[in-house]
Structure 1
Amino acid sequence: MAVSAALGMSAAAMLPSVASAQDELLVEEVVVTGSRIQRANLVSASPVTQVDAEEIKFQGTTRVEDLMKNLPQVYSNQNSSSANGATGTATLNLRNLGDARTLVLVNGRRLPAGSPIAGGQGADINQIPAGLIERVEVLTGGASATYGSDAVAGVVNFMMKQDFEGVELDYQFSQYNHDNDNSRIQGIIKDSGFPYPDGSKTDGDIQNWSLIMGGNFDNGRGNVTAYAGYREIDPVTQAARDYSACALGVNIDSCGGSGTSAEGTFLTNPGVFYVDGNQFVPGNKVFNYGPLNHYQRPDERYTGGVFGRYQINEHVETYTELSFMDNQTNAQIAPSGAFGVAFNLNPNNPYLSSQQRNILFGNAADLNEDGTAPITLLRRNVEGGPRNQDIRHTTFRGVFGLRGDINDTWRYDVYGLYSEVSMENTYNNDFSNDKIKNALDAVEVIDPDTGESSIVCQSVIDGSDPNCLPWNVWQTGAVDQGSVDYMELPLYARGTTDQKVFSGYLAGSLGDYGIKMPTAESGVELVVGAEYRKESLNFNPDEGFRLGLGAGQGGATNPVNGSFDVQEFFTEMSIPLVEGAAMAEELTMDLGYRYSDYSTGVTTDTYGVRAGWAVNSDIKFRASYQRAVRAANIRELFLPQGFNLFDMTQDPCTTSPDGDAPTATPAQCQLSGLPADQYNNFVDSFAGQYNFLQGGNTALEPEESDTYSVGFVWSPADIADLSVSVDWYNIEIKQGIATPNPEFILDECLAGNAAQCAKVKRGPLGDLWLGSDVNTSGHVVALLDNLAREEVEGWDVVVDYAVQLGDMGTLSFNNTMSLVTKWDQQEFAGAPTVDCHGMWGSSCGYPTPDFRNNLRATWLTPWDVTASLMWRHIGGSDDMNGNVDIDSYDYLDISAIWNVMDNASVRLGFNNVLDKEPPIVGDGAGPSNNGNGNTFPGMYDALGRYMYIGATLTF
């Protein structure tokens, strides 16, 4: 308990096994995340939160992401619930400052970028087997002086089981259960004419196998620990939950969806129409894309690895870590189609009915000079089925090192690390834009020999594409499967990321040379070291991706190929200032510095100062300042320019598909490049998605952050088994590397900012969404730059307490709280500061609740059963757009572990035992806000009650 209090850690209940392990720490030196200096004292100047292996059992975790996202300090963007825009990885995001700003370590050493795919630059924690985790240490705030770039928001360090002896076999079966009884939303869906589920639904089965084997050899001089694991996850679609069975509108009072419908939406000069039979009907139909999207992606994962060490002699110990993962998942979303394909229709198209021909060609003023009719088509490929993205990541990581004591004063640690991630991305069931245009250009031909007529593509006649089959979108139910097969375009991308690290340091106790403060008994501890790191990324999409031929891709997917390396020198020093004095049992100051020289021509200095003051054994104070940096990653440096999509409720300069009037004035809209006669006279995006131009920047400077923290730990001797740690932190990021929010750019333009208006490029029709041609289509320019300033401030409180119940065992409590008092962001210099704490949506994006709290109570019974109850609280978040505010949420989890015999245990648990459905916010929870299915599954329990049963055998 004392060590837990001193480190400010333990998000798990204090079980006897944990307490025993911590008692051992009292008599040996340990290394705490955030420093390489070994410590035998009880004062840590850094606030570290710890999750122990027992918490994994209590939560029934098979996906490490599920364990971590429940921590109040952690947010989850890419996870198993991502569908549209999924990378196939699981990433961590401390303080909601971004995946790239969270450094993830295994045993104190880096993990590589999780994927070469866009959005995959955070470390993929899928490769970490839950059964092998001994504990997880979370350090908030900058730690670049110790670990180098990327530790801006903090560090998550997974400490794995080593020196394991015996055999451990573990199996767990898990699934979800939910009672679809939301009568309000069911009524909305019913009124919209869509199907919905009713009654209890059990699905999303997860099976997980884990095997760990280890043993010592040569009289304990060596140990080998090996592991293997297999995980299989069944899919869940949004059709399985009533609250996600339709894509709700922004006010969640009607089903929204997409204007790219099964009936087709035809944007013509005479007006907007859809097809019913062989007739044009004014208006448009809405396509309910939600039910087809994955709410939980199917997943199959194999893991394996070896940890080993061998002491060659008293000065040299060799060690290795080898790990392998093969993970395959599939992200399914709604069918592809023609998403605003512009073409010129010939009046002799044989599929047109008389009514359609009269509407389209009845007024010469509506036609082109050659007599053709300009049309923009939005039509869903319901005949071809959903799009699905098959994503496979194969990861290898190897560490080889030497460590030992040179003498009684000096020790060393030198290692080399190589990691490689190989990605295969196969995108199925998309449509080809070029083939859509060919298939729409249908003509009737007469066989001169038989006199029989047939309908073929013009490209067949002129020989430009003899395989074309015409697409009849002009009549209900008339699409031929052959034309669907012709237009379908599989897309392929392959890529790798790899990381090479060579690192070493020398640590010494200078007190052996008499270097110490006269007021302290312990001497100065010193670490000096050097590190070389090289990061490489190669992303190679096929021609269909590169040329933007995929109709459902929102633009071209560009290749990225680049690398950089960095040479670094670092030092740490721990100086005991006072020991054994009145009001100062220990007073220690730690210093850290790192110099980095990047091959991109950038050099950085990072440094930190920390102080720990133990007034006595009851009360300890700590404070720190850290300057951290994050250098641009390879995608940020070298990504070619191209289109991407962003979500927005409506274009402020026209009426929305839901009938909402423009929110901007004609004068404001003219500032954005809209001609006066086009104000409220163009068609808005039916899906709420708009184009923005993204791209890398080789001139990016590293972003910098300053982190301040002050806290104390109270573990009173007269109150047994109580510890309280309280820490205040402030993190400010300057010249942050970011893509400006395109909606924010547009808003600034409408407010009169001429510099931002230059980035708004409206299309010929006045829109910002039609087409995918960078030169002609409407879009907002939002390229990466050193623009952003962000500041996060708050409090972390951890309380541990245990009550002895006599013959009834022990009842222990752990409470972990995070209070956010400030979350400010500024898109660029001169822009207004936006307060995002307790907000979601618009430029704030993902929810940032101002208060999150976990309370776990654990009862160690005298009957070989340990029972536990957890209360999870998530504070409310208000909608920046003023539509749907999120109330505070509370979940209850219960679990129990029964030690059936000395070598066998069984566990059973229910998370979200009351089956509380998540907050429903509608299409504001879109992919650009890292939401899915009308909510934010990375924060809330989107699938209902989680049930699991598992067993562990040890030999």
Structure 2
Amino acid sequence: MLRRNRLAAAVSAAVGISALTAIPQMASAQGEEMLEEVVVTGSRIQRANLVSASPVTQVDAEEFKFQGVTRVEDLMAKLPQVYSNQNSGQANGATGTATLNLRNLGDERTLVLVNGRRMPAGSPLQGGIGADINQIPGTLIQRVEVLTGGSSATYGSDAVAGVVNFIMQDDFEGVQFDYQFSQYNHGNDDSSLQRIVTDAGYPVADGSKTGGDIQDWSLIMGGNFDNGRGNVTMYATYRDVEAITQADRDYSGCAHNADSTGCFGSGTIPDGRVTDFGVLEEGFDFKVAGSEFVPRDGTTYNYGPLNYFQRPDERYTAGAFGRYEINEHVETYTELMFMDDRSVSQIAPSGAFFVTNTLACGNPLLSDQQFDALCGQFGLTEDDVQTAYLGRRNVEGGPRQQDLRHTSFRGVFGARGEINDTWSYDVYGMYAEVSMENTYLNDLSTTKVTRALDAVEDADGNVVCQSVVDGSDPNCVPWNIFTTGAVTQDQLDYLVLPLFARGTTDQTVYSGYVAGNLGDYGWNLPTADSGIQVAFGAEYREENLDFNPDSGFRSGDGAGQGGATGPVSGGYDVTEFFGEISIPVLEGKAFAEELIVDLSYRYSDYSTDQTTDTYGIRAGWAINQGVKVRGSFQRAVRAANIQELFLPQGFNLFDMDVDPCGGATPLRSAADCARSGVTAAQYGRVPNNPAGQYNFLQGGNPDLAPEEADTYSLGVVWTPEFVDGLSMSVDWYSIEIEKGISNLDPNFILNECLDGNDSQCALVKRGNAGDLWIGSDVNNSGNVIALNDNLAVEEVEGWDVVVDYSLDIGDMGTLAFSNTLSLITKWDEAELKGAPTTDCKGNWGSSCGYPTPETRNNLRATWLTPWNVTGTVMWRYISEVEDLQGNIDLDSINYFDVAGIWDVFDDTASIRLGVNNVLDEAPPVGGSAAGPSVQGNGNVFPGLYDALGRYWYVGVTVGF
């Protein structure tokens, strides 16, 4: 089996093979039996046509071995059409899941299927956005089909950017064991990057660093029974991933500033900082040294090195796929999938992030020198209170860790078969549930920080909290951050606030359709021999989400959380009716060997009082055996998910280097800032957030309408007879989205206000100091209001080019080449209709956020030797991406991967080894803008680039 399939695997496993070209090529090479009808992603009609109207990119199982990946996300992220927002490289803001994002249009607009049926929402933390592909066992994948462009008429909501369909093995026979070990290595030798860190006084990684070990075990067992009428395929896998911290790479030795010329440290420092942030006319900015206040002199804390660059992860999966043919009319089938995955995210220690704005001059923990510096020099007595913001990093308590565990189950039970020679059917019921446990460790309580800093002497002269004296909190322990080394375990035990959240998502689907060939009734056009084919059916789907954070999360009392985390509970259901018709228009004519037109329609009625109509038309024209043309139009929709509908209002954070009205020398005029709520007395004294993070008010909207998209495609496939083994497809696509569900970018709102748009000024709420960041009280703290609405307008156009070529080299075997090119020619977005349009093609930053390279290309060359060895080399290219903020562009990059597979025994064992990113190319550095709000980490973008350097692996497969 292994030996016989090597040629097909070597040719088709190369990334990018098109499903429409695969069918006739394989039929020609392997016999007429390959022309049996199949279902291709994007349609429910079985066909054996020479041409498919849908451009489907296919990745076969062998590609997983060539890439040596154990995480499905890692392989998918390398496809030129695919982007990755949530992945193993996320730390701050991680959900513990892995999601897919076609065309960079968002996880929520990419529909993920298994065997043509939906995956459930990945995590309650995501609010119903994006399927977690950690649930999919890589060793059981037969192939992956990627259809870009709308397909809502076939699959319903969410298929705006496209569909990713994982086709699983369900007919395995025998036993197969697979083990792989892999790890990362990087040579830290970039002296310019190292100098940035050392000049800031921080340690930096130097020399070769190896780690992040990944071990993956899998077992597959299967067999036929009852004379081949049935089959059961079972699997079990285990994966263990070790952590890598940002301290292990020189490009992440510190959080860079905007243009990556220096470190951007946090003003919340381990020494302890006391400052007025420029509020007072004669201000101060101290740090603690011994028992004194001394000038801070720019001292910052390097919060980057402790952050995880690769999260530790432990995953178990198990399941079974079964089918049994009861008779010629009924075949039952089932899919059972279970996953338990635990991942830990780690970021820098929590602390007092300037949550208090006063300090009593009579605080008994202050030394005489500190009293004089803070109060005495300003003419204040021990009975007075000074305006002072306190920042103190809790390095004694260790880094913050978010322990994320997801347990999921997905069950499908169905029946399919032939009603008669004309009609067939497929009906199924499906239930899926994801349970999440979120435990947040080592954060501090804002309430307790405030109480612990309010120290007094009791009647016996002991230093205690005021809350102990007045009885409001008898357990309070004063936090002595005014003397170096004075923090005790008792103080930490009082301040630390563990946070807990639990939640579930569940999905129920009942679906069925019938399909028939009306040609059996004489329903065919006179210009075609084949009959008209139809499929029609109905579907009911229910989605529910319950996210239940504890009181600490809900109140926003976690000092390092950036605001309150509210509960979300809600659900909706939808009843749908759909149909497809495939009409052969011409067959066997001059210049029209085959011309087929497909029509599709779906009506959806949501329990949220929304209805939608989606429809499409596709055409495939085989001019002859060598030239085929295809085109399509699809009206796609995406209904609001549960988070977008029901998320309670609460604070989140957005990145902004400085408030345009902040600091002693604001970037905007007094008149501009007055429009946003800055008073004349505040102008020039508005404090900037040292971390560059500001509050915005987010929340759901139960009246959201579905967003709409018109998607177009036009392509040609060329398989010239005069060049044996060559096929080429060129496809143009366009996706136009209106009424996009989103919140306005808080930066956009603020700048529109400053530019004179009074309607946006109503959404800017300044705090007591004219700020937009101090505190977490939604009623009193400064913030920008940015609630969900039908606002965004986006338009994406581009080209996909796939070239496959195989060459017989005689006694030396076969060479196979495959090249997949994705070229974006337009990626425009507007915050709302009528607003200025931003060109995101080849750009990143500002409102574009995540990078959108203009060109991505993968070229694989494979040598199928006559010695049971397959060798392969892959070149991956990502073009330059320019920074819209004008700070730092992301250079173009080339990656080279090599791999080899040796079939030790033809049918029983193989060994594989390989190296990805052979030359150990470091990822392009984006500076502070490459932060968690745009799915960056460690100054880079792990979902787009090889963030950890060189990756090597060795694996073995044994079967019998």
**TM-score clears 0.5:** yes
Asked whether 1:10 is paired with 2:14, we answer no
Answer with 294-303 or 776-785: which moved more. Answer: 776-785
Q: Which moved more, 1:353-362 or 1:254-263?
A: 353-362
Counterpart mapping for 1:618-633 below 5 A: 618-633=626-641
Distance 1:919 1:119 in 2: 31
- Pair 1:613 & 2:621 matched: yes
Aligned partner letter, 1:286 = T
Cα distance in structure 1, aligned partners of 2:153 and 2:250: 50
Give the C-alpha shift of residue 57 in structure 1: 0.5
Equivalent of 1:307 in 318, 321, 328:
321
Is the alpha carbon distance of 1:482 and 1:512 closer, same or farther for their aligned partners in structure 2, counting shifts above 3 Å?
Answer: same
**Whole-Å separation in 2 of the counterparts to 1:64 and 1:767:** 44
Correspondence 1:295 to 2:348: no
**Pairing 1:154-173 to 2, within 5 Å after superposition:** 154-173=162-181
Give the drift of 1:367.
9.4
Cα offset for 1:291? 0.2
2:355 to 335, 338, 341: 341
Give, in angstroms, the shift of residue 859 of structure 1.
0.4
Q: Deviations over 1:239-289 (max 9, x none)?
A: 111110111111111111211111223233443322222222334521110
Task: Return the offset for 1:23.
Answer: 4.2
1:429 to 2:442 alignment:
yes
Deviation at 1:181, TM superposition (A): 0.6
Correspondence for 2:333? 319
User: What per-residue deviation string (whole Å, max 9, x for no partner) do you get for residues 656-683 of structure 1?
Assistant: 9xxxx64323322222211233233222
Note the alpha carbon deviations across 1:591-637, whole angstroms, 9 max, x for none: 00000000000000000000000000000000000000000000100
Aligned letter for 1:742? Answer: P
Q: Distance in 2 between matches of 1:395 and 1:867?
A: 37
The answer to whether the aligner puts 1:231 opposite 2:235 as a matched pair is no
Unaligned runs of 5+ in 1: 448-452
8 Å CA contact retained: 1:8, 1:47: no
Deviates most, 84-93 or 39-48: 39-48
1:461 CA drift (Å): 1.9
CA contact (8 A) 2:216 2:238 kept: yes
> RMSD between aligned alpha carbons?
2.0
**Residue deviations 1:127-166 (CA, integer Å, cap 9, x gap):** 0011000000000010000000000000000000111111
What is residue 3 of structure 2 aligned with on the other side? none
Q: What's the CA shift for 1:860?
A: 0.4
Give the aligned partner of residue 185 of structure 2.
Answer: 177
Alignment partner, residue 450 of structure 1: none
1:639 paired with 2:644, answer no
SS at match of 2:196: helix
User: Does 2:953 correspond to 1:948?
Assistant: yes
Q: Which amino acid aligns with 2:695?
A: N
Q: Secondary structure at the match of 1:664?
A: coil
Whether contact under 8 Å (2:678, 2:766) holds in the other structure is yes
Deviation at 1:941, TM superposition (A): 0.6
**SS state of the match for residue 112, structure 1?**
coil
Greater mean alpha carbon deviation, residues 437-446 or residues 151-160: 437-446
Using the TM superposition, give the Cα deviation of residue 347 of structure 1 relative to its aligned residue in structure 2, in angstroms.
Answer: 2.3
- Secondary structure at 2:498 match in 1: strand
Residues 22 and 643 of structure 1: is their aligned pair in 2 closer, same or farther, counting only changes over 3 Å? Answer: farther
Distance 1:367 1:58 in 2: 73
**What is the CA distance between 1:769 and its match in structure 2?**
1.3
The answer to whether the 8 A contact 1:739-1:784 is kept is: yes
CA distance in 1, matches of 2:692, 2:600: 48
Q: Does 1:917 align with 2:919?
A: no
What is the match of residue 262 of structure 2? 254
| Aligned-partner SS, 2:374 | helix
Q: What whole-Å deviation, never above 9, does each CA across 1:75-99 have from its counterpart, x for those lacking one?
A: 0010001100000000000000000
The whole-number CA distance in structure 2 between the counterparts of 1:64 and 1:426 is 26
* 1:304-703 aligned within 5 A: 304-362=318-376, 371-445=384-458, 447=460, 453-655=461-663, 662-703=666-707
Aligned length: 942
Task: Name the CA distance, whole Å, in 2 between partners of 1:816 and 1:244.
Answer: 31
Q: Does 1:244 align with 2:257?
A: no
Indicate if the aligned counterparts of 1:367 and 1:374 stay in contact, CA closer than 8 A.
no
1:535-593 Cα offsets, whole Å, 9 max, x none, are: 00000001111111111111110001001000000000000000000000000000000
Kindly provide the amino acid, as one letter, of the partner of residue 288 in structure 1: N
The Cα shift of 1:767 comes to 1.4
Whole-Å Cα distance in 2 between the matches of residues 173 and 801 of structure 1? 32
Contact 1:265 1:285 in 2 (8 A): no
Which residue identity is paired with 1:734?
A: E
Q: How does 1:92-171 map to 2 (within 5 A)?
A: 92-118=100-126, 121-171=129-179
Structure 2 residue aligned with 1:734: 738
Q: Deviation at 1:445?
A: 3.2
| Alpha-carbon distance, 1:410 to partner | 0.3
Out of 745-754 and 854-863, give the one that drifted further.
745-754
Equivalent residue number for residue 880 of structure 2: 876
Tell me by how many angstroms 1:831 deviates.
1.3
| Structure 1 residue runs of 4 or more that deviate by more than 4 Å after TM superposition | 1-5, 18-25, 363-368
Is the deviation greater in 278-287 or in 552-561?
Answer: 278-287
Unpaired runs of at least 5, structure 2:
1-6
- Shift of the 858–157 alpha-carbon distance from structure 1 to 2, 3 Å rule, reads same
* Identity rate, percent: 66
Q: Deviations over 1:827-880 (max 9, x none)?
A: 012210000010011100000000000000000011111000000000111111
Deviation at 1:454, TM superposition (A): 2.6
Q: What do the CA deviations read for 1:866-912 (whole angstroms, capped 9, x no partner)?
A: 00000000011111110001111110000000011121100000000
Q: Distance in 1 between matches of 2:644 and 2:654?
A: 18
Moved more, 278-287 or 611-620: 278-287
The DSSP-based 3-state class of the residue aligned with 1:677 is coil
2:593 and 2:625 in contact (8 A); partners too: yes
Deviation at 1:446, TM superposition (A): 5.2
The whole-number CA distance in structure 2 between the counterparts of 1:72 and 1:662 is: 42
Deviations 1:73-123 (A, max 9, x none): 000010001100000000000000000000000000000100001466210
Contact 1:876 1:887 in 2 (8 A): yes
Instruction: For 1:776-791, list aligned pairs within 5 A.
Output: 776-791=780-795
Query: Is the Cα contact below 8 Å between 1:9 and 1:47 reproduced in 2?
Result: no
2: distance between equivalents of 1:298 and 1:271? 42
